[in-house]
Structure 1
Amino acid sequence: MDTYSFLRHFADSWMLLLMTALFVGIVVFAFRPGSRSVQDDAANSIFRNEKRPARDPAEAPVRRNSKEA
């Protein structure tokens, strides 16, 4: 059996099974019961600094009033 035939057979059988298992694993991981808070945080991350822009991390930390904290 030459190399091409071996790789073709491997891709048609075992690699298809591996890719299907990987897809099912990713879907189960995304829809697991404990991931709602992580998914909500990722979905709302673009709105986090909507009222004012984020500070530049290179700037010195700004003191906060007790009302803001």
Structure 2
Amino acid sequence: MDLEHDMLVWLSKSFGLFYLIALSIIIVIYAYWPSNKKAFDHAAKSVLHNEDGPWR
């Protein structure tokens, strides 16, 4: 029984590691994809565009 538990723990840790690495790579590729640049630039500027002045 102990060997089965150790194997299950090893598999779950390995799967989690590779899952997070793959997810990180996908997020970085999405963020640097050239066609997303316009949307990201618009989102960055739209926050400051509607600001009238300091909040009182």
TM-score, with length taken from structure 1: 0.59
Q: Give the helix-richer structure, 1 or 2.
A: 2
How many residue pairs align between the two structures?
Answer: 49
- Structure 1 residue ranges (4+ consecutive) displaced by more than 6 angstroms after TM superposition: none
2:17 is the counterpart of 1:16: yes
| C-alpha distance in 2 between matches for 1:49 and 1:12 | 46
The two structures, once aligned, show a CA RMSD in angstroms of 1.8
Matched residues, percent identical? 29
* Matches for 1:1-69 after TM superposition, within 5 Å: 1-2=4-5, 5=6, 6=8, 8-51=9-52
For residue 9 of structure 1, report the CA deviation from its aligned partner: 0.7
Structure 1 position 51, deviation (Å): 4.0
**Where does structure 2 lack aligned partners over 5 or more consecutive residues?**
none
Q: Name the SS of the counterpart of 1:11 in structure 2.
A: helix
Q: List alignment gaps of at least 5 residues for structure 1.
A: 53-69
Name the SS of the counterpart of 1:30 in structure 2.
helix
Once the two structures are superposed, residues 21-57 of structure 1 have per-residue CA deviations (whole angstroms, 9 ceiling, x without a partner) of 11000000010010111110111121121348xxxxx
Q: Which has the higher contact order (CA 8 A, sep 6+)?
A: 2
